[in-house]
Amino acid sequence: MDQRWTDAIFLHWRIPEPEAARFMPAGTRPDVFDGSSWVGLIGFRMRKAGIGRGPAIPYLGTFNEVNVRLYSREADGTRGVVFLSLDADRLPVVLAARAAEIPYVWSRIRHHRWSAPGTTGNGAQGYTVRRFRRGARSRFSVVPHFNAAVDDPLSVHLTARFGMHGTFRGRTIYIPNSHEPWPLYAAELHDLDDGLVEAAGIRVSGPPESVLYSSGVRSRFGRPRVVTGKRQ
């Protein structure tokens, strides 16, 4: 699949490695940075998704997504993402992904832009999520600092992910993904009231240690492969 991800917000908290290890598929282990595992709350706008090099899929190829994710590593060093949940506002997309055992959730999601009182230069933008049937909710927004590009090791570790680890029919799979490096900017947390991370089974406290914004990248997913090995 060929896709474009835009208006991406990355919020990350440190968590103990054993806590992340509970969610790792067989053949993978937590990918640790600075002695910690990390859990991310990421919101972005999916744009013009299509199959292969064909045209974008009308309506279904454009939607909002907010996911909760961890970071994984195979014995050979291959790094990936483990999704704990992925909220999206297109029901057919959710149903198709769940059939492939990807933990999508149908939610009402809105992307917002507005002026941020007390800030200078840039307005705030963020996402609100409300799961149907009185499920978990989330609200978060940031003020990007477009004059403060970042490429420090932690930011790269949390965003330069070129595949996902998951399970399908009892086996661990890896789906590769290719894209240019994210154009990353430091961001100031403007508002946060989140229930998605806890709903995914992880408790965090306080503000996120890493707050980033990106205008987006174009990406392409490849063919899945089976990962061998036991839980590490």
Q: Letter for the amino acid at 182?
A: W
Residue 68 has pLDDT above 90, yes or no: yes
Residue 219 token pair: 């990406």
pLDDT at position 30, please? 98
pTM of the model: 0.91
CB atoms within 10 A of CB 164: 19
Question: Residue 51, class by beta-carbon neighbours within 10 Å (0-12 exposed, 13-18 middle, 19+ buried)?
Answer: exposed
Distance of CA 102 to the CA centre of its chain: 13
pLDDT band at residue 218 using 50, 70 and 90 as cut-offs: confident
Residue 124 token pair: 């705030």
Averaged pLDDT for residues 2-16: 91
Residue 189 has pLDDT above 80, yes or no: yes
pLDDT band at residue 126 using 50, 70 and 90 as cut-offs: very high
Q: Which of 132-136, 140-144, 177-181, 194-198 has the lowest mean pLDDT?
A: 177-181
Nearest to 88 by CA among 38, 127, 54, 32: 127
Averaged pLDDT for residues 161-168: 93
Residues 144 and 122: their CA atoms lie apart, in Å, by: 7
